[in-house]
């Protein structure tokens, strides 16, 4: 415990802007420290009663910059109106995990954040008890105030901040009983609402620095190409261009404005040569079909005797499902600022993994990590794309080569054709039913293109089927892939939940009852290890069925889906009605168990947004290739869902008081299945491939 | 390179750029008005929406040479204190997730409500469907436009 040094520190949020017309959103560490006591890495309290809470993890739209400080403020009994939230710089010695990915931040930091708040509260109470000469236990706290009822004494936190800061922090701290939470569970508005609505420079693309150069990079136009030769004479002669530099397979046009660089890039004369197969989408279809039957499979999970079960089956159901590659399309394209100096490196920009950016910069420049700073800007979406460091690596290369501060900017076309896609995958599901309609055997084979493991072998229905085999085959391609919001499960959940529907129908059972029976079986006599909480899964199924009035609505075709991912449980019901002979998706009802809901407003929108995202990409998302080159390069060719295409989304949370889990991803996976199953009920046509819009069953409908 | 005189948010600016430079990049790279966002560059997403004489336009496809004497309003100049009814409604409804598209959404909504102060739900959806939100905040955008309309009247 120490007083924050008033000197040094620099900017917390590094927006620096040479034009005085812009009002930069700058939180200066000195400003915070002026009369403020730093209690721990998360919070400081000023004599003016302002509490500053640092949110260390990257904000990409998941609401963490609001939710994390809420947790600290809850245990502190802080008055939320007096809380200022700032984005922390990369400092993983203090914060450990500064990543936005896998919906993992909340489960990782829940205890840490609570302890940070509770410790500061403890110290304030002790400081007041000493000063007032009253027992610690008689002091109560609320709204950033300390009170002692018997003596009538009261004071603000600010008045005791300095005294409390001199006390020794306890090693063990008692946390609140969750039932007494006041702030957690409320609807708290996004802390950056005002800045967003008034156009303040918040995002990576908004970061400007005096003397900064811009860089637009030409990357190989096809996956499988490598750079052979560059003629940059014409580009260099164009207005505003400072230099053209080459590194690895990239050619960077460096200049004084984005537009000038973009135009000069068109004047580059580049020759490429083939370094790997230049694949087209037709090749992928052939590869899928070949590997499905003949590929060398890696077994992911095996229970019982699958072959015997299928031999003895009264009925066998078999289906295949396929999805294409997808770009992430965050609305803010990739960009990054780097300044490789004589004495170190400064990095600023939108990254979900600031530590990875630093590690890569260290490798390129030879500087040790402590000579490299990383400031994290607000990010215009991520969806997994900013888990990669490629754009940061580029900025470091270019800055090093031109010896100047540089911001690399990707155009939308660069962003969409630049790879790191959601991998294309094909699944084959097989189910064996006995004469009573019980699922006695289950097989899943996933064939993926650069997908790693395209299955999630321990997810439902694993554990509920005695004889089960899940395996996968991988095809290596020059087309680059990476995590895309709810990796793998973003498509697998739809395929599996649609197939389960097929099986339920073949068994002559209600889709909800069929799922519940499987889960009861997983509970009573599990087949192998069960790595999800059966009761929590049952609870969301029942809640979704109840809230949607499952099976009892006239003229409404309902489809069911449930999925466990990223430690949270989500069930969804899609509702289709037939209007003027056309099936129309009207509603999606979602039941969600993410444990304790931290911010009701943020969580509600996170679920709605997840459903819209899952549905939109299932319906329209399609990335195809010809000779290694993507066919789609902007939103005119690649269709994103729009306001006139969304259903109503009704969200219900399970209240069970369990420690919170993430919500950035789990609402997305079940969306496609709920909708496809409802569509089937209305039309008797299965949608087995994404995008739905290209399916035969869909032609002439949308 | 030529010098262009522009009236933006009721202030006079001048920019030395090539005439084909889109207004978007003049605002961002030359004038420090970065509230107007780049999303696609081909008028598909609406993130770059500004007002030209009160009408919503896509600044990413508007060459600076075509602006002429028209008055430009950007998100920074929509209101002096950030209290335009649409801006207030966006906060009240807590619309933003990542927030990147919202300046464009707000500018589209503000121009729309000026033309149609009492829109129907269908009209709102029609007016706002040209703006993409990758996070999927469409329900709240729709709601916020309704709230703004109710407060303006």
Query: Would you say A105 and A606 are in contact if contact means Cβ atoms under 8 Å apart?
Result: no
Domain identity same for A271 and A361: yes
Interface with chain B: mutation pick from A190, A196, A407, highest number of B CBs within 10 Å: A196
pLDDT by residue (tens digit) across A342-358?
999 999 999 999 999 99
Chain B: residue whose CA lies nearest to A642? B129
CA separation for the pair B60, B116 (Å, rounded): 25
Share of chain A above pLDDT 90, in %: 89
Domain identity same for A484 and A460: yes
Q: Which of B134, B48, B100, B24 is nearest to A195 (CA)?
A: B100
Mean pLDDT of chain A: 93
Of A380, A409, A438, the residue at which a domain comes to its end is A409
Domain identity same for A375 and A451: no
Does pLDDT of A92 surpass 60?
A: yes
**In chain A, which residues have their Cβ closer than 8 Å to the Cβ of B87?**
197-198
Q: Is residue A284 part of a domain?
A: no
pLDDT by residue (tens digit) across A644-697?
999 999 999 999 999 999 999 999 999 999 999 999 999 999 999 999 999 998
Distances (CA, A) of B140 to A635, A650, A671: 22, 13, 19
Is B85-152 a domain of CATH 1.10.150.120?
yes
Query: Is residue B107 helix, strand or coil?
Result: helix
Q: Quote the number of domains for chain A.
A: 3
Of A128, A162, A197, the residue at which a domain comes to its end is A197
**In chain A, which residues have their Cβ closer than 8 Å to the Cβ of B136?**
608-613, 616, 641, 646
**In chain A, which residues have their Cβ closer than 8 Å to the Cβ of B33?**
21-22, 199
Does pLDDT of A20 surpass 50?
A: no
Chain B: residue whose CA lies nearest to A200? B35
Whether residue A239 and residue B18 make contact (CB cut-off 8 A), yes or no, is: yes
Chain B: residue whose CA lies nearest to A636? B44
Report the CATH number of the B2-77 domain: 3.10.20.30
Secondary-structure breakdown of chain B: helix, strand, coil percentages, each rounded to the nearest 5: 40, 20, 40
Does pLDDT of A265 surpass 50?
A: yes
Whether residue B97 and residue A641 make contact (CB cut-off 8 A), yes or no, is: no
CB atoms within 10 A of CB A368: 9
Chain A: residue whose CA lies nearest to B12? A21
pLDDT by residue (tens digit) across A318-329?
999 999 999 999
Interface with chain A: mutation pick from B100, B109, B145, highest number of A CBs within 10 Å: B100
Domain housing A168: 29-197
Tell me what pLDDT residue A701 has.
66
Domain identity same for A359 and A499: no
Q: Is residue A13 part of a domain?
A: no
To which residue do tokens 């099986």 refer?
Answer: A503
Does pLDDT of A389 surpass 80?
A: yes
Chain B: residue whose CA lies nearest to A59? B98
Please, which pLDDT band fits residue A12 given cuts at 50, 70 and 90? very low
**ipTM exceeding 0.85, yes/no:** yes
Does pLDDT of A29 surpass 50?
A: no
CA separation for the pair A466, A521 (Å, rounded): 10
Please, which pLDDT band fits residue A107 given cuts at 50, 70 and 90? confident
Say which CATH number the domain at A680 has.
3.30.365.10
**In chain A, which residues have their Cβ closer than 8 Å to the Cβ of B39?**
331-333, 412
CA separation for the pair A480, A489 (Å, rounded): 19
Please, which pLDDT band fits residue A22 given cuts at 50, 70 and 90? very low
Interface with chain B: mutation pick from A259, A386, A585, highest number of B CBs within 10 Å: A259
Domain identity same for A394 and A516: no
Asked if A30 is an interface residue toward chain B (Cβ–Cβ < 8 A), one would say no
Tell me what pLDDT residue A102 has.
83
* Half-sphere exposure at residue B27, Cβ-oriented, CA atoms within 13 angstroms: 33
Chain B: residue whose CA lies nearest to A379? B98
Whether residue B100 and residue A190 make contact (CB cut-off 8 A), yes or no, is: no
CA separation for the pair A397, A401 (Å, rounded): 6
Nearest Cβ partner of A259 from B21, B90, B136?
A: B21
Element holding A577 (H helix, E strand): strand A568-579
**In chain B, which residues have their Cβ closer than 8 Å to the Cβ of A634?**
40-42, 44
Please, which pLDDT band fits residue A10 given cuts at 50, 70 and 90? very low
Domain identity same for A299 and A396: no
Please, which pLDDT band fits residue A570 given cuts at 50, 70 and 90? very high
Element holding A272 (H helix, E strand): strand A269-274
Does pLDDT of A31 surpass 90?
A: no
Nearest Cβ partner of B138 from A20, A378, A646?
A: A646
Q: Is residue A661 part of a domain?
A: yes
CB atoms within 10 A of CB A636: 11
Domain identity same for A259 and A347: yes
Whether residue B91 and residue A610 make contact (CB cut-off 8 A), yes or no, is: no
Please, which pLDDT band fits residue A16 given cuts at 50, 70 and 90? very low
CA separation for the pair A413, A411 (Å, rounded): 5
Q: B63: which 2 tokens?
A: 């060459």
Tell me what pLDDT residue A105 has.
86
To which residue do tokens 């040209």 refer?
Answer: B130
Radius of gyration of chain A (CA): 28
Q: Which of residues 332 through 361 in chain A touch B, CB cutoff 8 A?
A: 332-333
Angle at A152 between CA A151 and CA A153, to 5 degrees: 90
Whether residue B28 and residue A411 make contact (CB cut-off 8 A), yes or no, is: no
CA separation for the pair A457, A350 (Å, rounded): 33
Distance from CA of A45 to the nearest CA of B (A): 26
CA separation for the pair A134, A550 (Å, rounded): 59
Asked if A383 is an interface residue toward chain B (Cβ–Cβ < 8 A), one would say yes
**Is A28 or A200 the better-scoring residue by pLDDT?**
A200
Please, which pLDDT band fits residue A179 given cuts at 50, 70 and 90? very high
**In chain B, which residues have their Cβ closer than 8 Å to the Cβ of A610?**
136
**In chain B, which residues have their Cβ closer than 8 Å to the Cβ of A417?**
none
0.90 exceeded by pTM: yes
Give me the residues paired with residue A317 across strands: A431
Q: Is residue A14 part of a domain?
A: no
Does pLDDT of A30 surpass 50?
A: no
Whether residue B98 and residue A380 make contact (CB cut-off 8 A), yes or no, is: yes
Does pLDDT of A24 surpass 60?
A: no
Chain A: residue whose CA lies nearest to B46? A331
Does pLDDT of A205 surpass 80?
A: yes
To which residue do tokens 């609570």 refer?
Answer: A114
Of A366, A381, A409, the residue at which a domain comes to its end is A409
Nearest Cβ partner of A411 from B35, B41, B98?
A: B41
Nearest Cβ partner of A203 from B21, B87, B100?
A: B100
Domain locations along chain B: 2-77, 85-152
**In chain B, which residues have their Cβ closer than 8 Å to the Cβ of A611?**
136
Listed as ranges, residues in chain B with pLDDT below 70 are 153
pLDDT by residue (tens digit) across B86-130?
999 999 999 999 999 999 999 999 999 999 999 999 999 999 999
Query: Would you say A563 and A495 are in contact if contact means Cβ atoms under 8 Å apart?
Result: no
E strand intervals along A158-268 = 213-218, 225-231, 241-247, 250-255
Whether residue A214 and residue B91 make contact (CB cut-off 8 A), yes or no, is: no
Query: Would you say A326 and A483 are in contact if contact means Cβ atoms under 8 Å apart?
Result: no
CA separation for the pair A105, A174 (Å, rounded): 22
Q: Is residue A258 part of a domain?
A: yes
Rounded average pLDDT over A129-146: 97
Domain identity same for A683 and A569: yes
Asked if A610 is an interface residue toward chain B (Cβ–Cβ < 8 A), one would say yes
Q: Which of residues 640 through 679 in chain A touch B, CB cutoff 8 A?
A: 640-644, 646, 648-649
Rounded average pLDDT over A321-338: 98
CA separation for the pair A591, A667 (Å, rounded): 9
Q: Which of B87, B9, B35, B90 is nearest to A15 (CA)?
A: B35
**In chain A, which residues have their Cβ closer than 8 Å to the Cβ of B91?**
189, 193-194, 197
Domain identity same for A390 and A517: no
Domain identity same for A94 and A185: yes
Domain identity same for A398 and A461: no
CA separation for the pair A384, A212 (Å, rounded): 28
Share of chain A above pLDDT 70, in %: 95
Q: Is B139 exposed, middle or buried (0-12, 13-18, 19+ CB in 10 A)?
A: buried
Does pLDDT of A415 surpass 50?
A: yes
Please, which pLDDT band fits residue A103 given cuts at 50, 70 and 90? confident
Tell me what pLDDT residue A240 has.
97
Domain identity same for A363 and A434: no
Q: Is residue A441 part of a domain?
A: yes
Cβ-proximal residues to A548 (8 Å cutoff; 6+ apart), any chain: A558, A573, A575, A589
């Amino acid at each position: 415990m120490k007083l924050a040094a008033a000197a040094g520190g620099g900017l917390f949020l590094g927006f620096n802007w040479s034009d005085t017309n812009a009002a930069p959103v700058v939180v200066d560490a000195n400003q915070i420290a002026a009369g403020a006591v730093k209690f721990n890495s998360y919070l400081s309290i000023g004599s003016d009663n302002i509490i500053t809470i640092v949110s260390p993890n990257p904000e990409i739209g998941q609401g963490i910059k609001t939710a994390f400080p809420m947790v600290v403020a809850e245990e502190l009994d802080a008055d939320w109106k007096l809380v200022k939230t700032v984005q922390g710089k990369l400092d993983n010695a203090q914060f450990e995990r500064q990543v936005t990915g896998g919906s993992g931040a909340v489960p990782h930091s829940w205890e840490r954040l609570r302890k940070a708040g509770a410790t500061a509260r403890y110290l304030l109470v002790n400081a007041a008890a000493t000063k007032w000469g009253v027992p610690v236990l008689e002091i109560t706290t609320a709204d950033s105030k300390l009170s002692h009822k018997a003596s009538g004494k009261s004071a603000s936190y600010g008045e005791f901040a300095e005294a409390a800061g001199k006390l020794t922090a306890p090693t063990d701290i008692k946390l609140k009983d969750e039932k007494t939470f006041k702030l957690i569970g409320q609807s708290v508005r996004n802390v950056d609402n005002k800045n967003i609505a008034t156009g303040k420079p918040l995002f990576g693309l908004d970061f400007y620095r005096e003397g900064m150069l811009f860089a637009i990079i030409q990357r190989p136009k096809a996956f499988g190409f490598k750079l052979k030769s560059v003629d940059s004479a014409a580009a260099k002669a164009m207005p505003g261009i400072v230099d053209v530099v080459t590194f690895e397979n990239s050619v960077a046009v460096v200049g004084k404005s984005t537009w000038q660089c973009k135009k000069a890039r068109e004047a580059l004369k580049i020759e490429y040569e083939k370094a790997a197969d230049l694949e087209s989408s037709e090749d992928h279809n052939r590869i899928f079909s070949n590997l499905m039957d003949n590929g060398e499979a890696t077994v992911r999970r095996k229970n019982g005797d699958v072959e015997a079960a299928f031999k003895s089956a009264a009925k066998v159901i078999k289906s295949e499902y396929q999805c294409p590659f997808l770009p992430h399309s965050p609305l803010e394209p990739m960009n990054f600022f780097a300044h490789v100096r004589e004495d170190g490196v400064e990095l600023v920009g939108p990254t979900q993994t600031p530590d990875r950016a630093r590690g890569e910069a260290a490798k390129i420049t030879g500087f040790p990590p402590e000579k490299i700073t990383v400031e994290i800007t607000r990010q215009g979406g991520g969806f997994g794309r900013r888990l990669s460091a490629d754009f940061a690596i580029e900025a470091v290369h270019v800055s090093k080569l031109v010896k100047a501060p540089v911001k690399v900017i990707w155009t939308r076309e660069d962003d969409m054709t630049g790879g790191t896609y959601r991998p294309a995958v094909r699944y084959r599901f097989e189910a064996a039913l006995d004469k009573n309609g019980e699922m006695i055997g289950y097989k899943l084979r996933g064939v993926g293109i650069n997908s790693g493991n395209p299955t999630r072998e321990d997810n439902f229905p694993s554990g509920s089927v005695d004889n089960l085999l899940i395996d996968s085959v991988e095809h290596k391609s020059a087309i680059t892939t990476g995590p895309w919001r709810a990796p793998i499960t973003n498509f697998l959940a739809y395929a599996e939940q649609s197939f389960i529907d097929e099986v339920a129908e073949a068994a002559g059972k209600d889709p909800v009852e069929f799922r519940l029976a499987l889960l009861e079986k997983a509970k009573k006599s599990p087949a192998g290890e069960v790595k999800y909480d059966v009761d929590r899964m049952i609870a969301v199924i029942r809640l979704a069925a109840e809230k949607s009035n499952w099976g009892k609505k006239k003229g409404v075709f309902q489809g069911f889906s449930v999925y466990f991912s990223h430690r949270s449980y989500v069930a969804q019901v899609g509702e289709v009605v037939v209007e003027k002979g056309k099936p129309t998706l009207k509603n999606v009802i979602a039941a969600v168990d993410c444990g304790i809901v931290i911010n009701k407003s943020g969580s509600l929108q996170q679920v709605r947004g997840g459903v819209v995202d899952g549905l939109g990409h299932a319906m329209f998302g399609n990335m195809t290739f010809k000779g290694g080159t993507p066919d789609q390069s902007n939103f005119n060719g690649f269709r994103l869902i729009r306001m006139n295409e969304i259903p109503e989304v009704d969200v219900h949370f399970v209240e069970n008081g369990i420690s919170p889990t993430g919500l950035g991803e789990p609402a997305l996976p079940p969306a496609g299945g709920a909708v496809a199953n409802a569509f089937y009920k209305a039309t008797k046509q299965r949608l087995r491939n994404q995008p739905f819009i290209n399916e035969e069953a869909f032609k002439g409908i949308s | 390179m030529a010098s262009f005189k522009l009236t933006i948010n009721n202030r006079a600016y001048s920019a030395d750029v090539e005439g084909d430079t889109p207004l978007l990049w003049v605002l961002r790279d030359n004038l420090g008005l970065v509230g107007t966002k780049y999303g696609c560059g081909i008028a598909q997403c609406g993130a770059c929406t500004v007002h030209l004489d009160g009408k919503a336009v896509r600044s990413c496809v508007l060459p600076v040479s075509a602006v002429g004497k028209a008055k430009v309003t950007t998100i920074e100049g929509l209101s002096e204190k950030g209290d335009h009814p649409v801006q207030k409604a966006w906060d009240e409804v807590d619309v933003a997730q990542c927030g990147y598209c919202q300046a464009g959404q707000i500018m589209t909504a503000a121009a729309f409500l000026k033309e149609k102060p009492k829109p129907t739900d269908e009209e709102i959806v029609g007016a706002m469907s040209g703006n993409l939100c990758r996070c999927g905040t469409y329900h709240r955008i729709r709601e916020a436009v309704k709230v703004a309309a109710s407060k303006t009247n």
